[in-house]
Amino acid sequence: MDLGLHGKTALVTGASRGIGLAVAEALADAGVRVAGVARTITPELEKVATATVSADLSTAAGATAAVRSALTELGGIDILINNAGGGDGDKLGLEGVLDIPDEQWRNLFDLNLFGVVAVTRAALPSLIERRGAIVTVSSINAQLPAGGPVGYSEAKSALTAFNKRLSEEFGPRGVRVNTVSPGVVGTAIWRGPDSVGAKLAHANGLAQEQFLDAVPEQFGIASGRITEAGEVAALIAFLASGLAGNIVGADIVIDGGTIKTL
């Protein structure tokens, strides 16, 4: 399917691996000039990106500097993919509200909400001028308040609400804003050695591979398997394209049927 994106430009955050890298690859394959932003630039990202920017997006200064660099390299931004988020698995505790330090709350909100706010605000003038598109990666945890490490679901809920606000304010000015909410995705967040997946496996007394094999049944995933990064990237690329021209303010879930409510 021709997405009609040839010659467009895109800023993709968290682009060095996982969903972000898959998005950068999908957009580059569609003829998009991609600026990939990440804390650590990987060889895989360098292969597909027109430009790469190393930045810590959990700080406002890092976020705005990254957008400035991308604008310089690309000459303008047609598409913004806010993918950076999650958290460092080795730093996330799985204890309850009374036991988690304030630092975890702040870190999760800085990365998953405030960093996105800063990137988006810096990119909006170019997106307005070009009548562009924003796709932000949220999570089904935004709808499951008790799911995930304390602070993560809360930050993702706020992120989804922020993007709904953006769609209302800037949709009439030609900027389409949508969110994509994945369930469990087979990236380093779940499969990595120091990941949340590894911690959950240990907490359940299982080897990590055993735990991941059991996830579809334990989480009630109707498709019987977890989602892969390329599937999320294909959805995001579609939403960024003109083929999705009247999809505005939507939150589209890709979770294999994990969420059971309407």
Interval 67-106: pLDDT, tens: 999 999 999 999 999 999 887 665 777 788 998 899 999 9
Compute the average pLDDT of residues 152-165: 96
- The CATH number of residue 106's host domain is 3.40.50.720
Establish whether 152 is a catalytic residue: yes
pLDDT at 194 over 80: no
Could you give the CA distance from residue 240 to residue 230 in angstroms, rounded to a whole number?
15
What integer pLDDT is reported at residue 95 of this predicted model?
84
Region 176-192: mean pLDDT is: 92
Query: Which residue would you say has higher pLDDT here, 237 or 206?
Result: 237
Domain contains 222: no
What is the chain's length? 262
pLDDT > 90? residue 38: yes
Q: For the chain, how many structural domains are there in total?
A: 1
Residue from 26, 23, 20, 119 nearest 77 by CA: 119
Sign of CA dihedral 226, 3, 117, 74: positive
How many Å is the Cα radius of gyration of the chain? 18
Q: Measured in Å, how far apart are the chain's first and last C-alpha atoms?
A: 30
Q: What per-residue confidence (pLDDT) applies to 67?
A: 98
CA distance 80 to 9: 9
Q: Which residues contact 45 (CB under 8 A, 6 or more apart)?
A: 15, 16, 17, 21, 24, 36, 38, 52
The stretch 226-232 carries a mean pLDDT of 97
Q: Which two tokens stand for residue 89?
A: 């698995």
Query: Of the ranges 189-193, 197-201, 224-228, which is most confident?
Result: 224-228
pLDDT of residue 89: 61
Backbone angles phi, psi at 9, to 5 degrees: -120, 150
Please give the pLDDT value at position 54: 96
Mean pLDDT to the nearest integer, 161-174: 98
Coil, helix or strand at residue 106 = helix
Question: What is the pLDDT, as a whole number, of residue 197?
Answer: 80
DSSP annotation string for 17-85: SHHHHHHHHHHHHTT-EEEEEESS--HHHHHH-SEEEE--TTSHHHHHHHHHHHHHHHSS-SEEEE---
Determine the pLDDT at residue 110.
94
Distance CA 175, CA 178 (A): 10
- Does residue 248 lie within any of the structural domains? yes
Q: pLDDT exceeding 70 applies to what percent of the chain?
A: 98
Q: Considering Cα of 71, then 74, then 79, then 83, what sign does the dihedral take?
A: negative
Contact 19, 137 (CB under 8 A): yes
> Does 20 have pLDDT greater than 90?
yes
Catalytic residue among 109, 152, 162, 170, which? 152
Say yes or no to pLDDT of 64 above 90: yes
64 occurs within a structural domain: yes
Cα dist from 80 to 201, 213, 249, whole Å: 34, 34, 15
Average pLDDT over residues 138-166: 92
pLDDT digits (tens, 9 = 90+) for 7-18: 999 999 999 999
User: What is the reported pLDDT for 88?
Assistant: 65
Domain for residue 210, yes or no?
no
How much of the chain exceeds pLDDT 90, in percent? 80
pLDDT for 180: 98
**Could you tell me if residue 194 is inside a domain?**
no
The domain of 168 spans 9-185+228-254
118 vs 58, 122, 162, CA distance in Å? Answer: 9, 6, 12
The overall average pLDDT reported for the chain is 94
187 or 135, which is more confident?
135
Q: In 3D, which of 235, 249, 254, 233 has the Cα closest to residue 21? A: 233
Domain membership flag for residue 198: no
Averaged pLDDT, 224-235: 98
Please determine, for residue 196, whether its predicted confidence score (pLDDT) is greater than 80: no
In a domain, 250, yes or no: yes
The answer to whether position 60 is within a domain reads: yes
